[in-house]
Each structure stands twice: as C-alpha cells, then as structure tokens.
C-alpha cells in the first residue's frame, strides 16, 4: 500500500488516440472501422498489398505485408475481408474479428494475447480506422511520450471542472425564505501539460492537422476542421515518497493518473531568445468504458518503483 505519501515532480507522460467508439485502447479493446472502408487512396495499398506495424510494450515492432487483393473492391473492403487479410498476415499473438462495440456497432476488432501498450500503426492502420484515422487522420494507434527533464517542462497541472454549489431562495409574502441548497457537480478535469519538445505527432493526435512524415512538415487544421477534434487518453507517472528528508532517487512508489476522455489544443510555439516550451491544454470528461459503465474523467493507481521500472516506458 502506498497511501498517504508525498508526490514530487513527474517522471513520464504517455498519450494516444482513443478508439472510434471513444474507449481507451487496451490489449483486449482495439477497434477499427464499421461497415466498409476505402483502401484505394494514395499510399495505402500497392497492387492490393499494404504495410502494417504492431508493437507491444517495449518489444520489437513487427511489420508485415497485408494482402487485400482478394477483396471484391479495395474502395469498399468489408470487415470480413479485412479479418481474412489481417489473419493471413499472422501477426504474433494477434486476433482479428468482427465484433460489437459498446454502442452496439459492428466493427473490426483487434485483440492481443499479451502486452499492456499495443500500437497498431501505419497508413493502412489509419485507413482501417484504428485511432479514429478515417475521420481525423494520423497513423493509427500511436503512443506519444514525454519522459524525464529533457522532455518534460514544469509538469502536468490540473483542476476540477465543476459547477459550483448554489443556493436558490424564494421569498414569501411575509418575508420568510424558502431555500434550496444545490451541491457542486463534478464534470471532469481540466489540465495543462508543459513540455519542452515540439512533436508534430502530438499536434496531429490532439488537434488534427496533417503531419507529413516524409517531408517532416505539419499543416494545422483550418477553422472548419478545428471545431471537431478527436478524443485521446493521457497517462502520467509521478514519484511518491514517505520520508521526511529525501534525496532525488529515494522515491519508493509511483502514482499513475489516467485521463480517459480528453479533447485538447496546443499553444503556438515561441520563437525567442530562450528555451521554448509548449503547453498542451486538456479537458477530460466522464465517459462510458468498454463495459458500458459511466466512469469519472480521471483514475488513480499506485505501484512500486520496481513495477514502474519494469514498464520500460522509454521503449514503448
């Protein structure tokens, strides 16, 4: 148990797109397209074959060719045709199927037999709607991370998003008062993450736009598209200590904070005679998880420092 310990600083932050149904991806909960998907666009397939990469935790990435040449039309690939192509590619420990998401929508589903952080990436992954790629672009279920003092700025600050407590009074004919006390209503969390690195991938993940990975350019969203942004998740890892007199490195536990259902924006970069930082503005709201249960916008758990080290987040 690591309750009632003091928190100091921030070790790491991970973030990535949610599934098309709004849920956070996990080894047993990765969703792609519904109905049919169009794989005829530029750069997705070459003579019916596309490339897909899957990485589990800190393991080596596995890239394979996925053959859709047997599909009746690459501009309208069915879920069954996608399942056949992906299954034939034989990714290690991966199962693909047609299943029903939390909203009752039939979609392409991916499940990994092992792992905590599963990334399904590439142009093909986005076209299959992993990471909400059909509507919002990107390259699938990518995880972006900021680790350590060289990447993180002043840290992650957050406040409760709520409607304050209210009182409603009604005065009677002789001056008497009838009062209704209305408690505060907790809506979610607003947060600001200050980082040192300007990552085009994070910009694309959070606020749309297009990161051209070949030319290494980023085109921000326009006024119309910026009104509709994807949802993403954030995990932060902060060290805890129970000692009254500490040295750096004495921390014996880690607190992990998860923000499930996030939308956000990123402040414009600074160009000045100083080290520039970027602020990622985040609003996290209640959401319905894969079990159909409404949960709070944030979740907290604690682990030993050894368990945190074993995650090897720098290589996720």
Provide the number of structural domains found in the chain.
2
Phi, psi of 113 (to 5 degrees): -70, -20
pLDDT digits (tens, 9 = 90+) for 253-285: 999 999 999 999 998 877 888 888 889 999 999
Same domain flag for 116 and 59: yes
Q: CA 243 from chain center: how many Å?
A: 34
Residues 303 and 164 in one domain: yes
* Cα(55)–Cα(61) distance, integer angstroms: 4
Alpha-carbon gap, residue 277 to 198, rounded angstroms: 8
The kind and range of the H/E element at 204 are helix 200-207
**Pair 176, 111 in one domain:** no
169 and 134 in a single domain? The answer is no
247 DSSP β-pair partners: none
What digits encode the pLDDT tens for the residues 124-165?
999 999 999 999 999 999 999 999 988 998 778 878 878 888
Residues 44 and 103 in one domain: yes
Dihedral sign, CA of 298, 301, 307, 308? positive
Distance from first CA to last CA of the chain, Å, rounded?
27
**Position 246 pLDDT exceeds 90:** no
Structure confidence at residue 184 (pLDDT): 84
Q: Clarify whether residues 293 and 241 are in a common domain.
A: yes
Q: pLDDT, tens digit, for every residue of 58-76?
A: 999 999 999 999 999 999 9
**Listed residues 140, 169, 187: the one ending a domain:** 140
Kindly state whether residues 170 and 132 are assigned to the same domain.
Answer: no
Tell whether 206 and 231 lie within a shared domain.
yes
Whether residues 13 and 78 share a domain: the answer is no
Residue 81 DSSP label: H
| Residue the block writes with tokens 């399904």 | 120
DSSP 249: T
Phi, psi of 84 (to 5 degrees): -60, -45
What is the spatial distance between Cα 103 and Cα 295, in angstroms, rounded to a whole number?
A: 16
Beta bridge partners of 316: none
Task: Give the pLDDT of residue 187.
Answer: 84
The last residue of a domain, from among 117, 140, 163: 140
* Distances, alpha carbon 61 to alpha carbons 45, 80, 163, 288, in Å: 20, 26, 45, 31
Same domain for 159 and 105?
Answer: no
What's the rounded Cα separation, in Å, for the pair 176 and 171?
Answer: 6
What's the mean per-residue pLDDT of the chain? Answer: 92
Decide which of 107, 140, 173 is a domain's last residue: 140
Compute the C-alpha angle 43/79/134, nearest 5°.
45
With b for 16 or more beta-carbon neighbours within 10 A and e for fewer, the 127-143 pattern comes to bbbbbbbbebbbbbbbb
Residues 13 and 154 placed together within one structural domain of the fold = yes
- The DSSP annotation for 152-177 comes to EEEEEEEEEEEEPPEEEEEE-TTS-E
Which H/E stretch holds residue 85?
helix 79-89
Residue 303, domain extent: 1-18+144-316
Stronger pLDDT, 94 or 271, i.e. the higher one: 94
Are both 161 and 250 inside the same structural domain? yes
């Amino acid at each position: 148990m690591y309750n009632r310990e003091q928190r100091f600083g921030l070790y790491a932050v991970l973030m990535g797109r949610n599934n098309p149904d709004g849920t956070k991806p996990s080894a047993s909960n990765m969703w792609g397209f519904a109905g049919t998907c169009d794989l005829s666009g530029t750069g997705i397939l070459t003579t019916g074959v596309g490339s897909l990469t899957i990485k589990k935790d800190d393991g080596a990435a596995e890239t394979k060719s996925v053959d859709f040449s047997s599909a009746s039309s690459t501009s309208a690939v069915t879920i069954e045709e996608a399942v056949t192509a992906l299954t034939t590619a034989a990714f290690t420990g991966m199962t693909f199927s047609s299943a029903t998401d939390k909203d009752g929508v039939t979609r392409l589903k991916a499940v990994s037999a092992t792992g905590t952080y599963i990334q399904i990436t590439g142009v093909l992954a986005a076209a299959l709607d992993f990471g909400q790629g059909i509507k919002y672009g990107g390259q699938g279920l990518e995880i972006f991370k900021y680790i350590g003092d060289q990447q993180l700025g002043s840290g992650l600050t957050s406040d409760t998003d709520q409607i304050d407590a209210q009182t409603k009074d009604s005065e009677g004919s002789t001056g008497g008062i009838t009062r209704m006390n209305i408690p505060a209503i907790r809506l979610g969390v607003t947060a600001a993450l200050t980082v040192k690195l300007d990552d085009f991938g994070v910009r694309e993940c959070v606020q749309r736009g297009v990161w051209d990975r070949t030319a290494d350019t980023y085109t921000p969203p326009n006024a119309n598209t910026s009104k509709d942004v994807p949802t993403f998740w954030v995990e932060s890892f902060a060290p805890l200590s129970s000692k009254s007199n500490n040295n750096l490195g004495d921390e014996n536990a880690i607190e992990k904070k998860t923000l499930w259902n996030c939308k956000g924006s990123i402040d414009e970069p600074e160009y000045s005679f100083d080290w520039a930082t970027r602020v990622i503005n985040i609003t996290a709201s209640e959401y319905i998880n894969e079990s159909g249960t409404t949960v709070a916008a944030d979740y907290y758990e604690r682990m030993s420092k050894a368990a945190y080290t074993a995650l090897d987040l720098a290589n996720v």
